[in-house]
Amino acid sequence: MKLTHEQVLKIADLARLELSKAEVEKYAEQLSAILDHVEALNELNVNDIEPTAHAVSVPTPLRADVARQDEMLEKSLGNAPDREGPFFKVPKVLG
Amino acid sequence: MNYETIIGLEVHAQLLTQSKLFCSCSTEFGKVPNQNTCPVCLGLPGVLPVMNQRVAEFAVRAGLATQCTISPKSVFARKNYFYPDLPKGYQISQYELPICTHGQLLIENEGSKKIGITRIHIEEDAGKLLHEHPDHRSVESTWVDLNRAGVPLLEIVSEPDMRSPQEAVAYLKKLRMILVYLGVCDGNMEEGSLRCDANVSIRPQGETKFGTRTETKNLNSFRHIEKAILYETKRQSDVLAEGGRIIQETRLWDPDQEKTYSMRSKEEAHDYRYFPDPDLLPLLIENDWIEKIRRSLPELPDAKKERFIKDFQLPASEADILSSMKRLADFFEKAVSSYPQPRKISAWIINEYMRLIKADETKISSSLLKPEHVGITLKLVEEGKINGSMAKTVLAKVYETGESPQKIIEQEGLSQVSDEGALETLIDKVIAENPKEVERYKAGNDKLLAFFVGQVMKQTGGRAHPGKVNELVRKKLS
Amino acid sequence: MELFELTIHQLQDLLKNKKASSREITESVFKRIQSVENKVHAYVTLTEETALQQAKKADEKISKNGGAIHELPLLGIPIGIKDNFLTEGIKTTCASKILNNYIPPYNGTAVQKLIDAGMILVGKLNMDEFAMGSSNETSYFGVSRNPWDLERIPGGSSGGSAAAVAAGEGFASTGTDTGGSIRLPACLTNLVGIKPTYGRVSRYGVIAFASSLDQVGPLAKDVTDAALMLQTLAGYDPKDSTSLNLSVPDYKKVLGQSIKGWKIGIPKEYFIDGMDPEVAKSMQAAISVLKRLGAECRDVSLPHTNYGVPTYYILATAEASSNLARYDGIRFGYRNSETKNLVNLYKKSRSEGFGAEVKRRIMLGTYVLSAGYYDAYYLKAQKVRTLIRRDFEEIFKTCDVILTPVSPTPAWKMGEKMTDPLKMYLSDIFTININLAGLPAMSLPCGMTPSGLPIGIQLISKHFEEEKMLQAAYAYEQATEWHTRRAKL
């Protein structure tokens, strides 16, 4: 499975990554090699097999609807690189 | 070319739970920005979601009330995209296996019509972005408040069964009414706790294939929804008339310009890469629980309306209004139980009480005017203690002050003047002061009777017994 | 032996009998760190001051109440924590530039349990960036080295966790294992490493890599110590929806019980040509030991073994690409503050903050989930996962435990596999299927190459039957002396 440069750029964009020309080249090659290896899965007929999403098959636990104020709030917010008052700040969002 | 409009609505309802969907932060509106957050809804490293039981209950309630099939197993999925109001970089939602499917809703719009509901699913809300800081000017930044991030939502998707803006509004009104009835959502569209996006397409009359649809967002009132659908329908038919094609896209309704605008292509570029969320196991809903919830459902508006028509002999239009708000209906029934005159009570509620509460259901529970007051007051009219118009004044005062009707009548001296002697004196006065009108009346202008009665009423500050005044004036002028 | 060379259970005897204090033990560790850390580089952050304070408190507790050691299983014992475990107030970097300055507001559940058990925190251990790697060569803070041969890698991603314990810079450590990241480094450094059943230990407060595969576990010098650590770590956590509400047995109880009559499965797919001959030899020797202990070793088959690596690299990278989307510089972490454009904020912060391996995996994961590819890759991989799980379920119908090698080779040289990602991925070939099946497994020492490089065996049991593999591991260990060897630094 050979990935083109356009495909690599599209993936990088989706993942919000910026790649240099050299990186695009390198990743195209490496990802293609990995995908080639992954093609091995096509040797198997899995049409009637149920997918395993979780190693355990129990229902999701449910929590009572009780509100609590987080005690560590200031510490949680304190790691923000750019805060203004109580807000997080980002460059202007357009559209 | 005659086009038919096809409309489907996607409604997001914020749920009235105490805490968020996957963490215990409060869902209370209006707090200081980022106060109602914690590591989980902030999407900090290392956190994991734990589901709120009440959300499942509310989803089942909504599903049962709209005759959906409740899925015994539903799965949470991640919807991946980057936006500053989405802290984890993905929204936890439901994709392939939603909690409810195949429901319907009955609307009244020139006859009854069933509108299908494709699915109802659970998802978390995003935070809020402020493009202008509340306190100062800056054009370079956007401010992020994540209080709303993680608040539980139900997304309710209709089948594309609506054919006119009126049908769409009728559907939304009905859906909203049901959600408010169930106590799962407060239905407030201005505040954004009920949001609606409209999918609109057109096709030539008689065509069975669907045309390309657009999605219009930012519709925060029934009026705007109607206008936006009309606009979009016209826009699309204009495009086709010019030989163009409809582009499948998301558009934004501008309420000031009253137009829809195409949103930037970021919407088309979105590849959400849905996959089942590995941090959450499937949501299993057992039959016992569904039945328990079913038994706890309140009587829904349609059933209530039918019952009001049948048991209280109310006309359909009145039953419709009374049943449109659960608390109003409860108020009505309580008043009737203490004073079994449903027609009179219904009339007063619709003409007077609705005005007092400004048609706002939330005012009813805190209303100082209680259902018993209505009965008491109307009984006083029956007994001749006050007249009908004074009753309205009295009840308005009760609403304001919470004082009993009797006290108000006493304090304000509103009791009915029925004494014939006193009335005759006043009538004589009015007759003496209005000789021209007396002449015209005697000349055959019967309508002027009302004038004389009105003048007498004025003299008594509205308290005269209208029937008696009418009789006496007739006698005097015959 | 020096204090820093002992095991936890040996230290507990000394503490109980007042032959050593926690202060002495802790000082011994920090002295050792001073002497070898510049060569080994196991730690990202050291917390010497608070460690000595904690040691002082521990000694006070012990002198006031002799029974304290029984109530608090790790009282006074210096332990290292892998740097993807959140520690309140202490920098937690995940060995990445993007979290270079991150101070967590809370302790993860696993960390809290260890603190509640009385541990002394030595510091935060180096690892592969975001736990992605098998050699500890992708850390933003530089490589960690194998104390048995400083030119070689210690394994990864819990490389620092292994190097520290093997070098005497801590008596045990925590690691995480997604595709072998506890078992491989433990094997390459002559330690015992346990990956518990998926759901046995809480993941809350551990920075997520691949949510359906990650598990927390201990690295220690012998089975007794590892069992003690596991005992403390295991248990239901309501904050982790994937942790299971099952009681934790007393793992100590099985240590020393006979494995006579046990059936041990030896899967033929794990004994391949191309395996290092020393590893092959050690495996045969281990099988002989087990036979002497009375176990029956039978050939079995796990037919879908070779599909494990491709399956893993679809599922793990897909989940990781989503888990790492939150690193955007808005609420925490590295941010490129020069850009005035939102999209660039994301792109530059992430591209400058993440290393190459992380970016590679994010892109692979993004690709396999992208429109049109979900069925071909992700869904298919989930189905193959079912087949792999069933392979194991079949074997466990007739076997008590399964025995395999951990690594096809002993520790390799620095840089040897870095240029070929695929080559690196294939080092996980013996460990990876266990994560896909969610089974518990552990590696323990079983031999040395002539040049003194450790070799390990892997024991695997059924879901939530950690006792079985511990019982077999202990029996094997006590019949050999590999676990008593220490690296000469």
Whether C373 has its CB under 8 Å from any CB of chain B: the answer is: no
What does A14-82 look like in DSSP terms, one character per residue? HTT----HHHHHHHHHHHHHHHHHHGGGGGS--TTPPP-S-SS--PPPEE-------TTHHHHHTT-SS
Active-site pick, C61, C82, C348, C462: C82
φ/ψ of residue C360, rounded to 5: -60, -45
Is C415 domain-assigned? no
A-B interface: how many C-beta pairs under 8 angstroms?
124
Residues of A with Cβ-Cβ distance to B53 under 8 angstroms? 62-65
Alpha-carbon Rg for chain A, nearest whole angstrom, is 23
Active site residue C157: yes
Domains, in order of start, for chain A: 5-41 (1.10.20)
3-state secondary structure chain B: CCEEEEEEEEEEEECCCCECCCCCCECCCCCCCCCCCCHHHHCCCCCCCCEEHHHHHHHHHHHHHCCCEECCEECEEEEECCCCCCCCCEEEEECCCCCEEEEEEEEECCCEEEEEEEEEEEEECCCEEECCCCCCCCCCEEEEECCCCCCEEEEEEECCCECCHHHHHHHHHHHHHHHHHHCCCCCCCCCCCEEEEEEEEEEECCCCCCCCCEEEEEECCHHHHHHHHHHHHHHHHHHHHCCCCCCCCEEEEECCCCEEEECCCHHHHCCCCCEECCCCCCEECCHHHHHHHHHHCCCCHHHHHHHHHHHHCCCHHHHHHHHCCHHHHHHHHHHHHHCCCHHHHHHHHHHHHHHHCCCCCHHHHCCCCCHHHHHHHHHHHHCCCCCHHHHHHHHHHHHHHCCCHHHHHHHHCCCCECCHHHHHHHHHHHHHHCHHHHHHHHCCCCCHHHHHHHHHHHHCCCCECHHHHHHHHHHHHC
- Look at residue B265 in the predicted model and tell me its pLDDT: 54
Residue C176 located in a structural domain = yes
C240 touches chain B (CB under 8 A): yes
Regarding whether B430 and B397 lie in a shared domain, the answer is no
Which of chain A's residues have a Cβ under 8 Å away from the Cβ of B151? none
Give the rounded distance of the alpha carbon of B220 from its chain centre. Answer: 12
C227 contacts C470 by C-beta, under 8 angstroms = yes
Does B401 lie in the same domain as B270? Answer: no
User: Hey, are the CB atoms on A55 and C333 less than 8 Å from each other?
Assistant: no
Which of C155, C140, C143 has the alpha carbon at shortest distance from C355?
C140
Task: Place B267 in a pLDDT band, splitting at 50, 70 and 90.
Answer: very low
Give CA separation, C457 vs B145, C176, C469, in Å.
52, 19, 12
Q: For chain C, what's the residue count?
A: 489
List the domain range (segments joined by +) for residue B444.
420-477
Q: Pick the residue with more confidence: B79 or B438?
A: B79
Domains contained in chain C, number: 1
The answer as to whether C174 is a domain residue is: yes
Number of domains in chain B: 3
ipTM of the complex: 0.95
Residue C248 maps to which CATH number?
A: 3.90.1300.10
pLDDT at residue B36 above 90? yes
- The question of whether C181 is a catalytic residue gets the answer yes
Query: What residues of chain A lie within 8 A of the CB of B264, using their CB?
Result: 94-95
- Give the CATH number of the domain where residue B441 resides: 1.10.10.410
- Distance (Å, whole) CA B3 – CA C110: 64
Q: Domain boundary residue among B359, B387, B412?
A: B412
Residue C143 C-alpha from the chain's centroid? 17
pLDDT value, residue B443:
87
B161 touches B115 (CB < 8 A): yes
The 10 Å CB-count burial string (b at 16+, else e) for C259-279 is beebbbbbbebbeeeebbebb
Q: Is residue C114 part of a domain?
A: yes
Residue count of chain B: 478
Answer for the pair C253, C289: CB distance below 8 angstroms, yes or no.
no
pLDDT at site B128: 94
Structural domain ending residue among the three candidates B360, B377, B412:
B412
- Residue C43 falls within a domain, yes or no? yes
Residues B395 and B424 in one domain: no
Record: contact B80-C325, CB cut-off 8 A: yes
Residue C170 lies in a domain: yes
User: E strand or H helix at C396, and its extent?
Assistant: helix C380-396
Nearest Cα of chain A lies from the Cα of C62 at a distance, in angstroms, of 32
pLDDT surpasses 70 at A95: no
Domain hosting C213: range is: 3-261
> What is the mean pLDDT of the segment spanning B232-244?
94
| Residues of chain C contacting residue A51, judged by C-beta atoms under 8 Å apart | 379, 382-383, 385-386
- Position B115 pLDDT exceeds 80: yes
Which residues from chain B sit within 8 angstroms of residue A94, using beta carbons?
264
Among residues B381, B412, B443, the one where a domain terminates is B412
* Active-site hit among C181, C321, C349, C443: C181
Annotated catalytic residue C397: no
> Do residues B351 and B451 share a domain?
no
Q: Which residue has the tokens 């004073």?
A: B339
**Residue of C157, C173, C202, C282 marked catalytic:** C157
Q: In the beta sheet, which residues pair with residue C234? A: C201
Between the CA of residue B349 and those of B346, B358, B361, B367, B420, what are the distances in Å? 5, 12, 13, 13, 32
Single-letter amino acid code for the residue at B385: K
Residue among C242, C324, C371 whose CB faces B281 most closely: C242
Instruction: Give the closest-approach CA distance of B216 to chain A in angstroms.
Output: 14
Contact B143 A88 (CB under 8 A): yes
3-state SS, residue C211? coil
Select from A14, A53, A87 the Cβ nearest to the Cβ of B276. A53
pLDDT band at B1 (very low <50, low <70, confident <90, very high): confident
Query: Within 13 Å of residue C124, how many CA atoms lie on the same side as its CB?
Result: 23
Answer yes or no: do B275 and C332 touch at CB < 8 A. Answer: no
- Do B430 and B354 share a structural domain? no
Tokens of C480: 């050999």
Instruction: Determine the distance in angstroms separating the CA of A63 from the nearest CA of chain B, rounded to an integer.
Output: 5
A36 Cα to chain C: minimum distance (Å): 10
Q: Is the pLDDT of residue B266 over 50?
A: no
Residues 172-231 of C with CB under 8 A from A: 197-199, 212
Distances (CA, A) of B218 to B235, B425, B435, C260, C474: 17, 65, 64, 72, 66
Residues 50-89 of C with CB under 8 A from A: 88-89
pLDDT band at B464 (very low <50, low <70, confident <90, very high): confident
- The average pLDDT across B65-91 equals 97
Predicted confidence (pLDDT) at residue B139 exceeds the cutoff of 80: no
Which residues face C300 on adjacent strands? C267
In a domain, C226, yes or no: yes
Q: Are C55 and C157 in contact (CB under 8 A)?
A: no
Q: How far is A82 from chain B (nearest CA, A)?
A: 10
Whether residue C117 lies inside any domain: the answer is yes
Same domain? B310 vs B356:
yes
- Place B269 in a pLDDT band, splitting at 50, 70 and 90: low
Contact C404, C297 (CB under 8 A): no
Enumerate long-range contacts of C460-465, CB under 8 Å, 24 or more apart: C460/C392, C460/C401, C460/C402, C460/C403, C460/C404, C460/C434, C461/C396, C461/C400, C461/C401, C461/C402, C462/C396, C463/A55, C463/A56, C463/C197, C463/C438, C463/C439, C464/C197, C464/C200, C464/C244, C464/C246, C464/C440, C465/C197, C465/C440
Same domain, B184 and B308: no
Rounded-to-integer distance, Cα C117 and Cα C232, Å: 7
Q: Which residue has tokens 């012998």?
A: C222
> C157: cis peptide before it, omega within 30°?
yes
Q: Please, what is the angle between helix B420-433 and helix B435-442, to 10°?
A: 100
Domain check: are B235 and B112 in the same one? yes
C304 C-beta neighbours (distance < 10 Å), count = 21
Per-10-residue mean pLDDT, chain C, length 489: 94 94 97 98 98 97 87 96 98 98 97 98 98 96 98 97 98 98 98 98 98 98 98 98 96 97 97 88 97 97 96 96 97 91 94 96 96 92 97 98 96 91 85 97 97 97 97 98 95
The H or E element that residue C110 is part of is: helix C109-116
C440 contacts in chain A (CB < 8 Å): none
